[in-house]
Structure 1
Amino acid sequence: MRHLTLMRHAKAKQPHGDMTDHQRPLRKRGERQAAAMAHVLQRWQALDGKIFVSTAKRTRETFDGISSQLLTHHLASHVLFDDALYTFDSEALLTWLKALPDKAERVLVIGHNPALIELARWLNDEAPHSLPTGSALHFTLPDTPWKAVEKGCAVLAGGLIPETASYSLFQRLAPNPPDPQHDTVSRIRDLLEHQSRMIGALKPGVMAGIDSEFLHQYRVNLRRSRAVGESVLAITKVPGLKKMLKRLKQRAQATSDLRDLDVFLEDLGKTQPPLSASTREGLRQWLQCCQRVPHHTLCQQLSTPEYAEELQGWQSFIASDGVEKALSKLSPKRIQAVLDERIARHNEDLAALSVDSPDANLHELRKGVKRIRYLADLYPEPPEPFLSELKRRQSLLGDYQDLCARQAWLDAFSSGADNTPEQRIECSQWHAALETQKQKLRKKVLALGPLVSHR
């Protein structure tokens, strides 16, 4: 089987003055696009074979942007800049493709439209009709000579745009947040509608699995939607809302392990845990393997018609007259009454904690803080000192939970049959070090005073 990846150069400046088309450099946005696509190409193994790049400045700089993200790969040593790829004619590009040496099993081409997209459509008519700047398409072809390539012979194995590979780039296209509204009904409805739009817009990035921030933000918007809904439900009855919130909870729970794995892997790359290089690499690979199954399952769920219907149903529910009627009952006085109850419960749970309390008690305390935080957000302008204190407690308890999750994954790795006694000892020592960190955080939690209402 052969692999062919077609990538269009990243966003370039328009020519001005005496500048020719061939001399057009990348814009700053183009530089960010190229950097974002580096890990896409790495995942597709598109950089493991032959790399052919047009001699135009914008394609050269696109390659440079990719190479700069993967310095250890030494990509500059096996790239060929070819004048023949500075073409906009798909027939010329096809002729070039058919002249490739048969020993080239993996080929990456960084070139220009419309030649690239027309060739892609010739290879497989299911390819998209457009190829935005910085985007790439991955095809598999039969293991026959390149000169034997025929129309429709390729299988489209993947395709991504930079905005799907990078959350920071996606933000330029993300739905705009709602404008602050003074009346409670408009403000809460706009908030829920914005979050539902974000859930839908984040889906491609979640499925791509390149930038973990997509999954994090997807999870955040699901949980915030549920939290706001639960806060409303705690104050007034809304027919049908409880059922809707149950589905949101299930969707968020499907991302729980993936989120913990992402955090652990990110921390593993930033810190120096007390592990040998071989154990650390083994743990990293094991964690990545643990990601694959739940991510595949999540992608399958997000691709079903039922999921699309469910999301549309939530959006329609938010816009319904029943929700508007229920929201109209959310007076500041009623919100404050429920908020006071939650603060009192939090203070009771905090006072009941001790150095011997199980981890689960601290996890429940964290959930209570989040419920208070989202309920406080129903106010038009909650006092900043009160919100800051809630965020501080939420962060402290969140860090504690992350350490617990890290210990659980470390124990699961350590118990693997392939690990040596030396590796198990290393893991046990790190587990103990994490426990020390937990105890420091636990002392900080126990030292917290009662949470005071913002009134």
Structure 2
Amino acid sequence: MRHLYVMRHAKAKQPSGDMTDHQPPLSKRGKRQAAEMANVLQRWQALEGEVYASTAARTRETFDEVVAQLPERALAKQVHFDEALYTFDGKGLLAWLKALPDEAERVLLISHNPALHDLARWINKVTPHSLPTGSVLHFTLQVTFWKNVEQGSAELSEYLTPEMASYSLFKRLAPKPPEHNHDTASRIRDMLEHQYQVIRALEPGVVAGIDPEFLHQYRVNLRRSRAVGESLRSVTKVSDLKKMLKRLKHRGQATSDLRDIDVFLEDIIKTPPPISSGTRQGLTHWLQGCQWAQHQVLCQQLIEPEYAADLLAWQNFIASVEVEKALSKLTPKRIQSVVDERVARHDEDLKALSLDAQDTDFHDLRKGVKRIRYLADLNPEAPKAFLSELKHRQRLLGDFQDLCSRQAWLDAFGKSQDKDPQQQQECTQWRDSLDKPKLALRKKVLALKPFVLKPLTNVTA
């Protein structure tokens, strides 16, 4: 089997002065695109074989940015800059491909459109209809010799754009939030529609699984949509809303374990844990295996017809007359009355907590804080100090939950089969040591003061 990786150069500056087309360098965004794709190329093993690139400045710099991200790799020794690849003719590029040496089993080609895209469409007709700057296609070919490549003979294994690999690049193309509308009903409907659009736009990045921030934002927007819906349900009656929220909850729960693993792995990299390097490697490898398995399950769910049907049903529900009528009855005063009720309940739950309370009691308190915050966000007149305090409490309780999640994964690692006894012992000791920071957080939570309701009730209808 042969592997062909087709990469379009990253975004270049427009020619200026007497520049020829050969000379424009990468733009600032182009450099970011190429840098973000370095990890993708390494994960796909695109850099394990020969690299061929056009002699144009923009292709040279695309490769240079990739090299800069992988200093441990001697990539400069395996690149071939070929004037023949500075072409916009697909037929010429095909002739070059068929003339490749047969010992080259894995080839990365960095060149230009429309030649690259024409070549890709020739060897595989289901290739995407566009190839944006910085994008990479991975083809596998069941041929013994490159000269035997035929039309439609390649299988497209993977496809990724920089905006699917990097959340920071994606944000430029993300759906823009609606303009603020003082009409409560219109503002909430626009908020829900925007969250729906963001969820759908994030899906390719979630499936790609390169940048965990895609999953985080996907999860956040799912949960926010559900929270807004639950807040609406607590204020007014809407038929079928309970059923819709149940579907959103199911979709959100499908991301829980994977997000927890992502956070844990990020923490291990940022703050080395109190375990030996061998145990850290063993734990990391095990977590990555769990991460891969959880990601496969999530990706399978995202391509099922039932998933698309659930999301489409939610979008249609948001736009329904029933929801419009319910929202028309919503006023800041009605929202605030429910906020006041939930705040009073929160204060009661907080007062009932003790230092030796169950972890689940603290988790329940966190959920209550989230519901108050999302509901308060619906009211543009909510005091900023109140919202700030809600966020503070949510972060505090979120840190506590992260420690509990970390302990749960360490327990699972310790119970997994065929693990080195020394590694299991070290992880058990680390797990037990997390009780101390958990206790400190418990004390901070118990030290929180009750909310003062009086300033929150001065809201007009």
Normalised TM-score (structure 1):
0.97
Q: Is the 8 A contact 1:8 1:112 kept in 2?
A: yes
Aligned residue for 1:270?
270
Aligned residue for 2:144?
144
Check if 1:354 corresponds to 2:354: yes
Q: Which amino acid aligns with 1:43?
A: R
Q: Which amino acid aligns with 1:63?
A: F
Aligned residue for 1:247?
247
Q: Which amino acid aligns with 2:325?
A: K
Instruction: Report the alpha carbon displacement of residue 355 of structure 1 after superposing the two structures with TM.
Output: 1.4
- Greater displacement, 87-96 / 376-385: 87-96
Check if 1:135 corresponds to 2:96: no
Instruction: Report the alpha carbon displacement of residue 84 of structure 1 after superposing the two structures with TM.
Output: 2.1
Q: Which amino acid aligns with 2:157?
A: A
Aligned residue for 2:88?
88
Instruction: Report the alpha carbon displacement of residue 43 of structure 1 after superposing the two structures with TM.
Output: 2.0
Aligned residue for 2:56?
56
CA distance in structure 2 between the aligned counterparts of 1:80 and 1:278, rounded to whole angstroms: 39
Aligned residue for 2:22?
22
Instruction: Report the alpha carbon displacement of residue 125 of structure 1 after superposing the two structures with TM.
Output: 0.9
Instruction: Report the alpha carbon displacement of residue 235 of structure 1 after superposing the two structures with TM.
Output: 1.0
Instruction: Report the alpha carbon displacement of residue 306 of structure 1 after superposing the two structures with TM.
Output: 2.4
CA distance in structure 2 between the aligned counterparts of 1:74 and 1:80, rounded to whole angstroms: 13
Check if 1:102 corresponds to 2:108: no
Identity of aligned residues (%): 69
Q: Is the 8 A contact 1:181 1:380 kept in 2?
A: no
Change in Cα spacing, 1:413 to 1:258, as seen in structure 2 (3 Å) is same
CA distance in structure 1 between the aligned counterparts of 2:38 and 2:29, rounded to whole angstroms: 15
Q: Which amino acid aligns with 2:441?
A: L
Aligned residue for 1:443?
443
Instruction: Report the alpha carbon displacement of residue 103 of structure 1 after superposing the two structures with TM.
Output: 2.0
Deviations 1:251-277 (A, max 9, x none): 000000011011011111111111221
Return 5+ residue gaps in structure 1 as ranges: none
Q: Is the 8 A contact 1:23 1:57 kept in 2?
A: yes
Where do 1:388-407 residues align within 5 Å? 388-407=388-407
Aligned residue for 2:345?
345
Where do 1:267-346 residues align within 5 Å? 267-346=267-346
> Aligned to 2:156, what secondary structure does the other structure show?
strand
Change in Cα spacing, 1:411 to 1:76, as seen in structure 2 (3 Å) is farther
> Aligned to 1:176, what secondary structure does the other structure show?
coil
Deviations 1:72-92 (A, max 9, x none): 233223222222221222222
CA distance in structure 2 between the aligned counterparts of 1:354 and 1:73, rounded to whole angstroms: 54
> Aligned to 1:172, what secondary structure does the other structure show?
coil
Aligned residue for 1:238?
238
Q: Which amino acid aligns with 1:115?
A: A
Where do 1:357-376 residues align within 5 Å? 357-376=357-376
Instruction: Report the alpha carbon displacement of residue 353 of structure 1 after superposing the two structures with TM.
Output: 1.2
Q: Which amino acid aligns with 2:331?
A: S
Q: Which amino acid aligns with 1:443?
A: K
Change in Cα spacing, 1:433 to 1:71, as seen in structure 2 (3 Å) is farther
CA distance in structure 2 between the aligned counterparts of 1:160 and 1:98, rounded to whole angstroms: 25
Where do 1:175-194 residues align within 5 Å? 175-194=175-194
Runs of 4 or more, structure 1, over 6 Å off, are none
Aligned residue for 2:37?
37
- Greater displacement, 379-388 / 224-233: 379-388
Aligned residue for 2:459?
none
Instruction: Report the alpha carbon displacement of residue 35 of structure 1 after superposing the two structures with TM.
Output: 1.5
Q: Which amino acid aligns with 1:324?
A: E
Instruction: Report the alpha carbon displacement of residue 143 of structure 1 after superposing the two structures with TM.
Output: 4.2
Return 5+ residue gaps in structure 2 as ranges: 457-461
> Aligned to 2:139, what secondary structure does the other structure show?
strand
CA distance in structure 2 between the aligned counterparts of 1:121 and 1:257, rounded to whole angstroms: 38
CA distance in structure 1 between the aligned counterparts of 2:415 and 2:422, rounded to whole angstroms: 12
Q: Which amino acid aligns with 2:217?
A: Q
CA distance in structure 2 between the aligned counterparts of 1:379 and 1:312, rounded to whole angstroms: 27
